[in-house]
Structure 1
Amino acid sequence: MTNNELKRALGLERLVKKDICTTDAAHLLGLSVRQVLRLKKRYLEHGTEGLIHRNRGRKPAHALPQELKDHILNLYQGPRYQGANDCHFADLLREHEQIAVSPSTVRRIRIQAGLPSRCRRRAPKAHRPRPRKPQAGLLWQIDATPFNWLEDRGPQLHLLAAIDDATGQVVAATFRHYEDLAGYFEVMRQGILAYGVPVALYSDRHTIFRSPREPLTIEQQLAGEQQPLSQFGQALAELGITHYKARTPQAKGRVERLWRTLQNRLVIELRLRNVCSLEEANAVLPELIARHNAQFAVLPDQAQPAYRPVPQHLDLRYVLCFRDHRTVGAGQTLSYQGTLYTLAVPRSFKAPPPKTRVQVRQTLDGEVVAWYQGALLPLRPTSPSPPAASPTAQKQTAGPRPPHRPAADHPWRRASLISKNRR
């Protein structure tokens, strides 16, 4: 018997002996008068054993069979679902094995078998979280993480992703071999095409996001000079997106916590699909991200999103692109990455004069155009004209020079004759 049942037995014994009344017994045991009368009747019929719960020692009707528990334990210890935590393992059992059990049941089976948890829980720390933004699209957090996503089946990849601060929804993601500018441009392109232009973006202080030049001095700031923007910063400024650069990982903690969730789940999902290359990983990534959003995304405080449409005068191909500057030559030509281009200037547009600095933009698919005074000028590859042969080059290509022989009336010869006559 438990301590509570012993306490009830002592109270009912005093009630049967009429030392206390029914109301006092109910107050003493913390029960209602009707429950005390029921327990008194059972006590008089069966004695102290009547107060013990009748299901004690019996197997519940809805308990899992021992064979099913052993099967779940073998799957948990096998290589197929290696590394899955309790919640994810319950989801995988429901999807791939048609076994519907709760995460608490998985945890109970694991503890009974003496297996430790796959994820160690750290001691809680005092932290005041920043509240979420009230509307979707007010703030995106963008970052990248290197991880062995394909395990031993392929190379180590970087996952680049952007998450909405209000909903926790992954708006775009892509796998890359390295953390590069083209990958971040692809993430922004996917997110903007799917949802719209966000109001602000939160990133770290990688040189992709900020110019590597030194910050401006006080004299330069007073003179009105502005700090130069990186290529990514120029694209955000052209789209009207406010850019915040965090100084600590905790400042953009929402995307940092996303990596822990994806590293626990995506590795197993990619293993089950036998993904072995970068192309295969990017092919199945949209499906995995959609499932993640359906399970973990939350509703914002305000249903109306804050996304903006892309301005009509802008083309994302020529905004999210690589930028550089070149000088126009005398023949309306410029050189870029070892190729000579000619500016295809329309008749209605004034051509840039020679020695003018223009901006050259290269899109993600390799198209190269010139940007001058807010207008897009197509570029046509051209072959340079062969240089004229110089006299020096002609002399170098000529044959061996014949020996020089003085003429018969050369002063040198006359001097020789005079000297001979004198002798």
Structure 2
Amino acid sequence: MNATGTITMTMRELDRFKVIQDVADGRLKPWRAAERLRLTTRQVRRLVGRLREHGPAGVVSRRRSKPSNNQLDAVTADRALSIIRERYADFGPTLACEKLYECHGIRLAKETVRRLMTDAGLWIPHRQRPPKVYQPRARRARVGELIQIDGSDHRWFEERAPACSLLVYIDDATSRLMMLHFTATESTFSYFEATRAYIEQHGAPGALYSDKYSVFRKTGANKDGSSVTHFGRAMYELNIDTFCANSSPAKGRVERVNLTLQDRLVKELRLRHIDTREAANACAPHFIASYNARFGKVPRSAFNAHRPLRVDENLDTILTWREPRRVTCALTLQYDRVIYLLDDTGTDRRLVGRYIDVCEYPDGRRDPRRWRRPSPQALWPALRD
């Protein structure tokens, strides 16, 4: 009850008042009211007595406007906040809460730490932050200057066959589909196969723009200290730049194309009664021609940035999985639980203690290659993220 004599109730208290009033007037049994309010019959009788003694105010919670018994004391709050300001000002609430307990013995709930940091201006809730603005990036001027690539896992054949992946290559300058390749899963060898078909059909592009999938970017380091993936190494040897987008909107053209394909291409495959990856790959050129005629754009420059392969660029050798292995004193090396024996020649004896690459081809063949690997310092600047 406030100073004007008005009683303020919450909706829950108002519903409780109506039920208790019915019990007091004899219109409802106490045990029925207890079931409805999820209270005990004894508590219902207590509320009836408080209603008859104090009126509607007797139903209102007596804890209103009183401090909580579990409220954080000011000394602990000030101490925690001073430590956060001094040492963890740029930490998130969850991490700051963990460090307060690990390093200072202050055990607080992470939501309590979040409230303290928010009130102190050290943390801004995500809902109160201004939305990120992704300004549109201008298209490249020439065909083949930048190719956006992505894989889309989907039920392309609906219920007629299991789900599979579609590798999509789209030109940034014209939004034209350059390559569609159906494969079982996104893997290095599947991208090798699709990229080889692309190069044989169009030539080598200037750059490939992808996401941070493990085929394109490795979080850890290789044995030689580099973090270049097998796909990135192959593109470097083909003089094709590779870029990894930091977000999905950054490569929005290929993302939007995937949504379009998941509608149009699925229905096209249904109309043609196609339910295998081989038949879908054979039908892909006809769909690409129809799609490009409908949605393709005209580039700003008529120059084609694709280039033919040089004589020394052998796709059979470059598009392989390579693993470095050390040659032992017995002229052996081990790869995938298999021991390979080198010929006992003067050339092979000079390889003892050195690393050579074991090349694994898409058809399963393996071959130790006797050539020096480029250093990580030479590879890394060309593979820009």
Partner of 1:372: 370
Partner of 1:334, secondary structure, is: strand
Find the aligned partners of 1:290 and 1:345 in 2 and give their Cα distance. 55
Q: Distance in 1 between matches of 2:368 and 2:144?
A: 32
Uncovered stretches (5+) of structure 1, i.e. residues with no partner: 1-124, 216-224, 376-423
Q: Deviations over 1:291-340 (max 9, x none)?
A: 22233222211111112222221211221111111122445433333434
2:169 partner SS = strand
Letter in 1 for 2:306: Y
Partner residue of 2:354 out of 343, 353, 356: 356
Question: What is the SS of the residue equivalent to 1:152?
Answer: helix
Aligned-pair identity (%): 37
Alignment CA distance shift 1:346-1:258 (3 Å): farther
C-alpha distance in 2 between matches for 1:323 and 1:283: 30
Alignment of 1:237-386 (within 5 A): 237-343=236-342, 352-374=350-372
Q: Distance in 1 between matches of 2:177 and 2:305?
A: 16
Q: For the Cα contact (< 8 Å) 1:328–1:352, is it kept in 2?
A: no
CA contact (8 A) 2:157 2:269 kept: yes
CA distance in 1, matches of 2:305, 2:279: 34
The answer to whether the 8 Å contact 1:157/1:178 transfers is yes
Letter paired with 1:363: Y
Q: Does 1:161 align with 2:168?
A: yes
**Is the CA contact (8 Å cut-off) linking 2:328 and 2:353 kept in structure 1?**
yes
Residue pair 1:318, 1:362 contacting (<8 A) in 2 also: no
Change (3 A) 1:154 1:312: same
Deviation at 1:343, TM superposition (A): 4.0
Asked whether the equivalents of residues 202 and 244 of structure 1 are also in contact (C-alpha less than 8 Å), the reply is yes
TM-score, with structure 2 as normaliser: 0.57
CA drift at 1:366 = 2.3
Q: Which of 206, 214, 229 pairs up with 1:207?
A: 214
- Distance (Å, rounded) in 2 between the aligned partners of 1:210 and 1:233: 8
SS of the equivalent of 2:160 reads coil
Asked if structure 1 preserves the Cα contact closer than 8 Å seen for 2:134 and 2:249, the reply is: no
How many equivalent pairs are there? 241
> 2:202 aligns to what?
195
CA distance in 1 between partners of 2:204 and 2:365 (Å): 24
Structure 2: 5+ residue stretches without partners: 1-131, 374-385
Tell me if the contact between 1:317 and 1:364 (Cα under 8 Å) persists in the aligned partners: no
Query: Residues 339 and 136 (structure 1 numbering): CA distance in 2 closer, same or farther, change over 3 Å?
Result: same
Using a 3 Å threshold, how does the CA distance of structure 1 residues 293 and 374 change in structure 2: closer, same or farther?
farther
Tell me how far 1:369 sits from its aligned partner. Answer: 2.1
Match of 1:183 in 2: 190
Quickly say closer, same or farther: Cα 1:343–1:302, change in 2 above 3 A: farther
Q: Deviations over 1:99-137 (max 9, x none)?
A: xxxxxxxxxxxxxxxxxxxxxxxxxx9974222111111
Note if 1:148 corresponds to 2:155. yes
1:291 maps to amino acid: S
Cα distance in 1 for residues equivalent to 2:309 and 2:345: 26
Residue identity matched to 1:305: N
In structure 2, what residue type is equivalent to 1:372?
R
Deviation at 1:191, TM superposition (A): 1.3
Normalised by the length of structure 1, the TM-score is 0.52
The answer to whether the Cα contact below 8 Å between 2:331 and 2:348 also exists between their aligned partners in 1 is: no
Contact kept? 1:155, 1:277, Cα under 8 Å: no
Larger Rg: 1
